[in-house]
Amino acid sequence: MTTCPTCDHPIKFSVRSRAKQVICNVYEQGQWLRVEHYHEHCYDEAGSPYGTADDSQPFRQRRRTVPAA
């Protein structure tokens, strides 16, 4: 579990959760430093500190397994 830097509340990773989050790889002088996780609304409230979030990846829903008849 990680904490949102804007609201200091935990970001829970859950298979059933529908909440979106923004994941930022932070670089300094071309070198990777860390990953920051934001709640989607917190990232917007923070003024999008790392630029516009890329939402081009579709939100994938889990497939339900149907028992064989």
For 33-57, what is each residue's pLDDT tens digit?
999 999 989 999 999 999 998 888 7
Residue 40 tokens, joined: 């989607």
Distance (Å) of CA 30 to CA 25, 37, 43, 57, 62? 11, 20, 23, 24, 36
Q: What pLDDT shows up at residue 19? A: 66
Q: How many CA atoms lie within 13 A of 39 on its CB side?
A: 15
Burial of 30 (0-12, 13-18, 19+ CB in 10 A): exposed
Share of the chain above pLDDT 70, in %: 72
Whole-angstrom Cα distance, residue 38 to residue 54? Answer: 13
